Amino acid sequence: MTKLNILYEDNHVLVCIKPFNVPSQEDASGDEDMLTLLKAYLKEKYQKPGNVYLGLVHRLDRPAGGVMVFAKTSKAASRLSEQVRTGKLDKEYTLCCAKPPQPLSGTMEDYLVKDNAHNTVRTCAKNTPGAKIARLAYQTLKTRADGTALVQVSLFTGRSHQIRVQFASRGCPLLGDARYGAGGQQLALWSTRLAFDHPTTKERLAFSSPPPKIW
- Domains in the chain and their CATH numbers? 5-208 (3.30.2350.10)
CA 127 to CA 189: how far, in whole Å? 30
Residue type, 104: L
Instruction: Please tell me whether the peptide bond between 103 and the residue prior to it is cis, using omega within 30 degrees of 0.
Output: yes
Q: Which pLDDT belongs to residue 140?
A: 98
Give pLDDT tens digits along the chain (215 positions): 688 999 999 999 999 999 999 999 998 888 999 999 999 999 999 998 888 999 999 999 999 999 999 999 999 999 999 999 999 999 999 999 999 999 999 999 999 999 988 889 999 999 999 999 999 999 999 999 999 999 999 999 999 999 999 999 999 999 999 899 877 789 999 999 999 999 999 999 999 999 988 76
Q: Are 81 and 25 in contact (CB under 8 A)?
A: no
Q: Which pLDDT belongs to residue 213?
A: 81
Contacts 24+ apart (CB under 8 A), 192-195: 192/66, 192/67, 192/92, 192/93, 192/94, 192/152, 193/67, 193/90, 193/91, 193/92, 194/15, 194/67, 194/68, 194/69, 194/89, 194/90, 194/91, 194/92, 195/89, 195/90
Task: Look up 61 and say whether it is catalytic.
Answer: yes
Q: Which pLDDT belongs to residue 1?
A: 65
Q: Which of 61, 110, 115, 177 is catalytic?
A: 61
CA 98 to CA 151: how far, in whole Å? 11
Phi, psi of 51 (to 5 degrees): -75, 145
